[in-house]
Structure 1
């Protein structure tokens, strides 16, 4: 996957997982990367490994902090809204606190970051591209993660609405919807045994329904798909939610 050297790109959730992999590839191809994360330690490691990266430490749960940090930076050519959180829990036990937390990060912050970035793209007159990282969970329900599924379904619709409104300004908006990716977000970690059992059961179902027989989608596939949509290799793909799922949603 090749991108234009000197491309200016803002990546949220850049400190780990998919975001970090995107930053590494963009940096390696000569892009100017603004890497946003709330974790200063992760940003320090990123800067040490990729010296041209511009680190931005922001807690995306705060609209005020987002505006304070992003409004002063230069216009970028592309935005990748990758940051997200995942809190499992059955529907009957889902708390308002967990609902607010997941929707604030997974949806509200995407709107705020995209508004700031898109306005600058429009003012610059050159257009650009925005890629939202969604999930197959936005299109196929899963037990035990009802609120998370709803946040990703909302991202899918937001992507289409943004494409509709921003298209006249030459701004393309698409989403990438991965199946399982082997990042710390998908690891049981400190879950209780009951939650671990549910995660494992969901993974068994996912694997059985995936035509390619792949449980963990290769990070390279996610990165290449995202950067293709972010690049100028296409001018007419917009409003799409592209699944990287081994054929799961087709089954």
Structure 2
């Protein structure tokens, strides 16, 4: 599906913009003509990300997604600049690892704070702006296959994403009357990044088990977000769009092993 220039005149907020998925989404929206407000914790990294975006009229604001006051001030700053945005992408997330018996309360609260509480509060703040503007809008939460499949050492992360999927559906129900659509996009496996490197052997093993035989790409993730925000997705709300090469329905590891044996 081709989205070139479809988002001209639309504004979009993207959280966690300095991460690999946030960067992909931001670039995809900018290429389609949207004006962006990027947010993350590091002002310097935000400015570097901003400088790489095509188009004009973008800006960045640092915010602490563990602080309700910071998020409230952030939403107010966006309103001063634009009024209500057309799109909110709750992309920011953290993925610390550890067994449940070893994870402290503060770390658990931080995971829930960034992955669940922040999308709740930001969706509430920006939805109120959209309602006051009377123009509808689109909210997208970036979920994960971890929402449906528990993984050892990252149970709090899995729990946060399961709850985020339910929150998505709840907001979709309650905001439908205002013309605000709320959906989740679930990207597939990504081969790490500078911030979160993965061993090459692990990447090869995981990729070999994915039915479509490759990792997730920028086009895959950005196109899914663009679709649920576009006119083509105007009748889609409360949905989770899984874009993982079939990884969530099963793996081909057994078949790969048989091929090697032959």
Normalised to the residue count of structure 1, the TM-score between the two structures is: 0.89
Is the partner of 1:94 in helix, strand or coil? coil
CA distance in 2, matches of 1:172, 1:28: 22
RMSD of aligned residue pairs (Cα, Å):
2.1
- 2:239 corresponds to 1:240: yes
List per-residue Cα deviations over 1:116-138 (Å, max 9, x = no partner): 11001111111111110000011
Residue 207 to residue 141, structure 1, CA distance change in 2 (3 Å):
farther
- More RCO (CA 8 Å, sep 6+): 1
Residue 208 to residue 92, structure 1, CA distance change in 2 (3 Å):
farther
Residue of structure 2 equivalent to 1:20: 23
List per-residue Cα deviations over 1:29-52 (Å, max 9, x = no partner): 321111111111111112333353
- 2:210 corresponds to 1:210: yes
Matches within 5 A, 1:1-251: 1-2=2-3, 3-50=6-53, 52-72=57-77, 73=79, 74-184=83-193, 186-188=196-198, 200=202, 204=205, 206-207=206-207, 209-214=209-214, 216-251=215-250
List per-residue Cα deviations over 1:200-220 (Å, max 9, x = no partner): 4x984x546422223x21121
CA positional deviation for 1:183: 4.2
Native 8 Å contact 2:91 2:142 kept in 1: yes
Is the partner of 2:228 in helix, strand or coil? helix
What number of residue pairs does the alignment pair up? Answer: 240
Per mean C-alpha deviation after superposition, the further-off stretch among 23-32 and 112-121 is 23-32
Native 8 Å contact 2:17 2:38 kept in 1: yes
Native 8 Å contact 2:136 2:179 kept in 1: yes
Structure 1 residue runs without a partner (length 5+):
189-195
Structure 2 residue runs without a partner (length 5+):
251-262
Normalised to the residue count of structure 2, the TM-score between the two structures is: 0.85
CA distance in 1, matches of 2:225, 2:17: 14
Per mean C-alpha deviation after superposition, the further-off stretch among 42-51 and 65-74 is 42-51
Is the partner of 1:69 in helix, strand or coil? helix
List per-residue Cα deviations over 1:44-84 (Å, max 9, x = no partner): 11233335311111111111011012124220111110011
